[in-house]
Structure 1
């Protein structure tokens, strides 16, 4: 068996210097090479079956071309879309994502972060931030490149990409008020994370704008079981409720379970709105009205911010807020 082709072999076949061939084959430097020359190098590499040596490149550049990605719950259907957005963006620049699940557990988050750091990742994309997050405070002091996704810390430690939750909640409340609902409740996410707090605050402002009674029940987690438990409490204490805005779609699934157990029809007796527009919620019975969050774009925008940071762009923390929209389906109807 012959030796595998080297960069020198590619350069010789393409008729260029070895350094030119190396730049042409590196997505992060290919724009430094004339387009016609770069195509010739790529064709030569393909003809020879050349595969770049990632380890050798990382030793030369002191970069691993890998990024750590911390996800709070991989079983939640919205996060694969975030990861896909990340991979679609960083892959074009020669980077690979190393994924870790935290289960929203601070100790596991710390362990996973340190494990990725030991693998010499060049930076982190983190979707598991808590509002008061000791790990991220330490990471900021160490100057490690990080971009937050979907959630933020109270102190603006890092660049972040989120959805415009305030506008999303306001639109949802307007929809319910327009249907004649006057007893609208919010099952919020945990107040320890920014999405739970921001959406609850937005609900407060939206309800106050219509001079309606405010009812909020905080869920223990963003889960179906927590949603069912909170809905049961709500229906016991506030039987006059005719509409529910859930903190996310997982909570909304729990609400549907609680309504079914009580023989309550959705939307004839109680309307329901979720948040996120997860895959398959349009297949529920009834199909779920929900606030659509562009999760693929969240991942893509965050990845681009991190790439810009690694390229030496201004690292001042930036907050990017993406527009959301209400998707009206069968789980909302006129108030009785």
Structure 2
């Protein structure tokens, strides 16, 4: 049976086919309101919709209800293997609650970020999950002042108080330094991430505290700040550190991409890892076990970061009076072949 009206099947066509009100069809096809309709009716509606080839019109729905059923996800660099598992976590949490994700990439460019977020808002997204936050982030302050619902993932801002889901950066760095100290290292260096990000600043501060607390050489503990979270910046930072002072027996990198840059410098200077210098990364990105040597790193629950950020955002959308709290997720140390006792 097909609808009498020509063109694209409508919600009313589905309703007429099985003899129910269009509102019933709308509720049955919407995961957020499906519980208001009996299971048998839902089955009949889905069967009729499939038979007619009916597809809901999300634009019309958003105009009618002021709800788009979508959120925006703002990523700094989609080529960074750290972020796809986070996005998968976001999608896994959104789908059961009837939401979709619009994903944009900013390339760490403030102008592009502003344009991409404006594009998301023009599509009437109901909130934003943002992974691009810097400690001082004027655009996020503007959005906060305008009442845009946001959750930050992996990073935080100094102000205003925007909820965030982050790994326990300080605990992760302490695990790394404690592991190296346990192997006998006393001259440990840190290739830090950019200080204008919460991750870079928090991990560098945690490194200094761990070196002092464990009684390692800290006069001062050698730290080199990378200009960006990239392999090339990690290599530049380590070159500068090695040129300034004696060779450390171990390096803790602020993330795995910075650690990749350290591998490059070891190769160009004829240093063996871990024979001459041990190395620890942070994030446990995919395929680190394929490196030579496989990289010891701090494991971060990527999927959970995205899923918890999505749940937090949806809770604030569906319960406007709800004030979400920031969430710190535990990390662990994944020991592989890039760390060993220091050379004798």
TM-score by length of structure 2 reads 0.93
Equivalent pair of 2:165/2:309 in contact (CA under 8 Å): yes
- Gap runs ≥5 in structure 1: none
Render the CA deviation track for 1:153-187: whole Å, top value 9, x for unaligned. Answer: 01252211111111111111111111110011111
Aligned to 1:189: 193
Residue of structure 1 aligned with 2:339, choices 318, 327, 332:
332
Residue of structure 2 aligned with 1:83, choices 83, 87, 92:
87
For residue 189 of structure 1, report the CA deviation from its aligned partner.
Answer: 0.3
Aligned to 2:305: 298
Deviates more, 1:28-37 or 1:178-187: 28-37
Task: Output the CA distance in 2 between the equivalents of 1:6 and 1:202.
Answer: 59
Q: Secondary structure at the match of 1:269?
A: coil
For residue 136 of structure 1, report the CA deviation from its aligned partner.
Answer: 0.8
Say whether 1:123 aligns with 2:127.
yes
For residue 201 of structure 1, report the CA deviation from its aligned partner.
Answer: 1.2
Aligned to 1:111: 115
Render the CA deviation track for 1:108-143: whole Å, top value 9, x for unaligned. Answer: 222222222222222111100110111111111110
Aligned to 2:319: 312
Task: Output the CA distance in 2 between the equivalents of 1:247 and 1:31.
Answer: 47
Q: Secondary structure at the match of 2:206?
A: helix
For residue 317 of structure 1, report the CA deviation from its aligned partner.
Answer: 4.5
Aligned counterparts, 1:216-255, within 5 A: 216-255=223-262
Equivalent pair of 1:70/1:99 in contact (CA under 8 Å): yes
- Gap runs ≥5 in structure 2: none
Count how many residue pairs are aligned between Structure 1 and Structure 2.
336
Aligned to 2:35: 31
Task: Output the CA distance in 1 between the equivalents of 2:145 and 2:324.
Answer: 14
Residue of structure 2 aligned with 1:154, choices 151, 158, 161:
158
TM-score by length of structure 1 reads 0.95
Task: Output the CA distance in 2 between the equivalents of 1:35 and 1:275.
Answer: 47
CA RMSD of aligned residues (A): 1.7
Aligned to 1:288: 295
